[in-house]
Amino acid sequence: MKKFFLLFLALGAFAFAGEGGQDMIKAYSVVAAGVGLGLAALGGAIGMGHTAAATIAGTARNPGLGSKLMTTMFIALAMIEAQVIYTLVIALIALYSNPFIG
């Protein structure tokens, strides 16, 4: 983990080497968008995995409720995926119409 962090800092020096404040804000926006999307995807994947595991376990315990559990699972997966899509929209706003650049 330390090697990854040092590599990230070393590569960050090239990204932040631009002159002026706007280049620095753009560079930070790119890093923030990448980290934000990565964390959102990680959280969404963990949530979807737990949802699918719980649905499979519930269907194994009571096969008669399988269709109701599947319906509820698909609704929950849509809610989880919506959170990741919201993060994507915020990242695209930060990248293309950056509100921090005057």
Q: Please name the residue that has the structure tokens 């109701």.
A: 68
pTM listed for this prediction: 0.70
pLDDT reading at 1 higher than 60 = yes
Distance CA 93, CA 29 (A): 10
The pLDDT, as a whole number, for residue 56 is 95
Is the pLDDT higher at 86 or at 10?
A: 86
Distance CA 36, CA 83 (A): 12
pLDDT reading at 16 higher than 70 = no
The pLDDT, as a whole number, for residue 18 is 55
Domains of the chain: 21-96 (1.20.20.10)
Q: What is the mean pLDDT of residues 9-20?
A: 63
**pLDDT tens digits along 21-76:** 677 777 778 888 888 899 999 999 999 999 999 999 999 999 999 999 999 999 99
Token duo for residue 88? 């994507």
pLDDT reading at 98 higher than 70 = yes
